[in-house]
Structure 1
């Protein structure tokens, strides 16, 4: 079996890359280790930067997003009995974000791929990437008890943090940077009216909370919890009670509660693998980098990787320019590190680190530093503009 681009992973980044390449007449096959139903069952982010919104429109999969997505012109930061609105559109010259769940993005991309008849192998086991440093790489895997070989010219590793793609790069070639945070996020999804018409990030003495949403009738809320906590410890009633303690009083008083659709606890980490390319194999999204969700950058950084790789491969196949291939890692990592830094900064400012020493600083001193940081950036327009520019997303870099 042959294709031009083998894509490992059928999450939103792999599906989006496949859709964009197909629209340019570039043949691709996706190989995924789990079922399509399992992929759709993952509950993930829901805030899309303008760059990702534009990319979905370019891919021809934006009809439902444009109809059902919620355009947000601002977000709020609540702390020390203050509520500061970051007016995204006013501070950035008109940029906004779109609230539209990652599950819905994935569903739209899956349907588009199925309609166009492109090939996807779900539930493929023992996936291996071979000869990626040569001009004739290939992928092997098992499907329905049979061995399959997929010859290709390029491989896109869109298979997440635990996937095989990053492991294909030898240890003496790659450098991995990691910061693990001493807490997690307990998330609850419910079919209830959102507590507020914009996201509210809350810093309290009890810990961080986020009031978010997926639609006008579906809400997503988060609580900072110790890494030792288990889902079984958190009944729905316990979650709603604690959330109300952390939200602004007027928001908590009027919020709608109800049964959870899903609850989960996610650990927080910052992670980057350098380089993001090895021969003709490219790492995309979570395969190369993880951010804490505080800055809403995980899916959006994956989308910018996709945009970069899509532009490079389009130039390769349409213009015969293979020299541009070597730009991939450098271009992606510049934007990745900006997103990593912003997410790390927001996490440091908005969370309670308890008695944990942070970066060699005792917890009380660090807490005072972050309190000052938060006040400084929110008390003046230039500081709020810095937050807004990064929240809506930095521009995608062009390929030279």
Structure 2
């Protein structure tokens, strides 16, 4: 048992205990009350365990017999989605740019009992996308779901960002899901399948110092919602997913510009605080259930839902709030630098933040997040930040 199931079993035991106590009052209990109490306790435990087993069985069969293609599946949320879809009965195809990370992810999935196949693919190349879809169908014989999960993140003041940084973000988080979704639609009609687009709260609340990311996610969310309106006639469902902050360990691979150490500190702190962020495991479970239920829209966290609600009702207020946030974030220094998170977090400030965000550090290890410069070199990492969440 895990998650809410253990508390459910304990709640069953507590209910049984309370009922037995009420039966004992006001008279002293007869000798047989001890056995009665044990019986009620056993009944409560059976109730909790039974509910847990039923839930696990239902979860394990949500995606039986289906084939799911996940972009950015070698690490981060993409990898956790592959685990969760596999645990729900699906066969998964995961794609990523790097062979080493992809092989490690597939081996880990196979070790969990997930039927997984890895394909090296740059999703910004339309020709490679067609080959990816062909390979998925050739290997498993069908395709039921496409999950657009690949992403790219660069953090810093606008003055430190070039036009190329915006182009990179749009290539990965708008044009890539556009080409993949359009190429997959006809195939998905044959299986009455679905497309899942993992956007972001940044698509609805543009966060300072993350402008390329927010702009691309905003375009992606608009594309996803429009596709959902137009594709229903052909039997293809489109699910727009809006996560808030998630603990995936992505801060290790993000490229920080301007004042990298201070930029790293605020980003890692926001992404790793338990009351503000959610775990990738929780997000993946919610996404799989929404996919199986062909839901059109899913907001992952209460904080994200609140932010969207406030922005919808009072956009001027949220804009003013973001201006305040912008003033609090690090200013553009004279000697602007650019470093991946694996380096920016090595200073005293980064180590202090790491001590406060232990959950995010642990998540990075679970999500196959490696140093952005490991096996690549600093310059290559700076030119090509990670394409995952």
Structure 2 length-normalised TM: 0.25
Structure (1/2) with the larger strand percentage: 1
Q: Which structure is larger by alpha-carbon Rg, 1 or 2?
A: 2
Structure (1/2) with the larger helix percentage: 2
Structure 1 length-normalised TM: 0.24
